[in-house]
Structure 1
Amino acid sequence: MTAATVLVVVALVQGAFLTLLLMFLLTRRLLFPSTRDRFAEARAAIDEAVRQWLVAEGPVSAVRDAISALPSAARVGYVAHLARGLVPAEQRPSLVTALRYEPWVRQALAGARSRRWSRRLEAARALAFVGTAGDRQLLGTLLADPHPAVAVAAVSALPGVADDGLVAQVVDAYPSLSPFVRGFLDLTLRELREPVTRVLVSRMRMDAPTLALARRIALAEALDLLPVLDQAMALRGHVDADVRAAVARAARRLPRDATVQLLARMTRDADVTVRVEAARSLGELGPGSVPFLGGALHDTSWRVRRQAALSLALLGERGRLALREARADADPYVRDIASLVSGLSDGALLEITAR
């Protein structure tokens, strides 16, 4: 057999294989609807069933049946998204009762202790819409999962499951979590303000670990928990600069004369970062801060001088007037930074000072 004959045979075999493959794909598409089509149809049915349930007092069983029509791989993720975005808190118990013992939900929850992180992720997502007080221990395990995706999904289940004990566990673990998980927690814990406040108030102590203390103050600032922030102000003299900087940063949430005086003292702190944060917060507390920011323009650190000038520019006409006067100051460093910031447009100023 010549080489040409071999090539012809190979070409014929490959052509036949390609033809059969195309016929198979075409037949499959004609006879079986695609997963995307099935998902779109099931989603439309779910949306209608949810609308009837929430608005027209229809049966929640119709929602359960519509969910069962979803492709199995998409059920848990879609229902978790649906429950988080559409189902009011007062209707959640009805949804839990309808779905808790469905086979696909039980299968998802059974994967909570699997070695595969994808199965633990499904369990965390399922807890987001069927979790109850009896799942606190399971949720606590998932919150401590080493995989960030699992921990983030478990955070979504907190509002329906958490008590003070579980909230305390979350708050204690908060400082050691990755920035991504902490950011997601900041959003979720807004729904648990009262228990979070109780736990954080008890954690605002001088003898607490410094990193944990600084990040808990940041959490209280993000959630705008005024009782916690009031107590955090007592930590302004902490030996660790990170804690003092966190106090200076959080003080902007307390717009009153006493806070302005406190921050004015902190602009003379031994640590540069603390002075910068104090100057930044003063820029958000009104015209009463202008004299203290004018003094900060003479700081030995360029970072503090720059922040003081930016804060003055944010304080309206009084601040702008102080900057214009500083352009004639005897100190060349003060003149330079005042001239630089005075020349910024409003848009550039807002972009530079955005937190």
Structure 2
Amino acid sequence: MSAEPYKDDRFTVLVVDDTPENLDVLNGILSDSYRVKVAINGRIALKIAERTPKPDIILLDVMMPEMDGYEVCQTLKLNPLTRDIPVIFVTAKSQVEDETRGFKLGAVDYIIKPVSPPIVRARVAAQLALHHQKRQLEREVQKRTEDIKTTQREIIHCLGRASEYKDNETGMHVVRMSHYSRLLAEKIGADPKWVELLYEAAPMHDVGKIGIADSVLLKTDRLDSSEWNEMQRHVEYGVAILGKHSSPLIDLAKEVALYHHEKWDGSGYPRGIAGKAIPLSARIVAIADVFDALTSERPYKAAWNTADAFDYLCQQSGQHFEPQLVEVFISLESEIEKIKRTFADEAVGQVMERQ
């Protein structure tokens, strides 16, 4: 029976010094408690620091040829891959200004040569404990932040579904238009984090219809002027429903809810703004929303095919919709058809959204 491979779970210390004797001294002090890696110059140290697994702490000499310790430390702190690794300077430079410079560059401690073994062990242990504790706290904060984001997403989805039930829509409408919105945002090169926020926020575009009276919302005849004015208020109701709490997701959802009925030529509502004064999120959602309304079956109309819906978007390009976004959306036909097939309605019984 073969033995299991040895696994060394100890912290890794990278020691950087151009003098082999100094490397031997520090290795002797630390090797009983830690895995020790050594580098004889700054350039080698930077390469080792970027490797996985990364060192847990770096002991860095200051006076070295080519790259001195200050330059190495500065380079480490400018690199996202290595900036969180604690650096302790180990040097014969003992002037206050030397220590001050080291701390300004991001070092966490300063050990003077010739080194004392108990001091080295104590300083390294203390900084590793602090660093480990910091990482644990960061993980806990990240987990709690993710839990909050998950809760917000669930609330957003629930409200989105509620608005669809209120309007006799199927939930697949908001699913499809959210996917269309994400697809278009990705294609124009928007920031990936913003793209995902838009995907999560898009279902909230009509959440304000929860506040519209059924006599207006579900009316099958043409709306009179007062009824139409009330219908337009769903954008304001949407912002009110989403509340005053601020987060990237909620803020974007409110933006979409308020502005998705604005038109490129300024003839939309509620504010009549035009062109790029309309937030990008709302310009994207407007196309996704209208396209899905056109290509979805309703009790009183058949679903338009994609080509006819594209023709309508082209006719409204420069009036209702931003021309460049329409052009990009149409170029995504194969991906759009895949979304339509994947998230097709299971049942019909919707009332067409009044644009």
Q: TM-score, normalised by structure 2?
A: 0.30
Name whichever structure is richer in helix by fraction: 1
Work out which structure has the larger RCO, using CA pairs closer than 8 Å and 6 or more positions apart in sequence.
2
Name whichever structure is richer in strand by fraction: 2
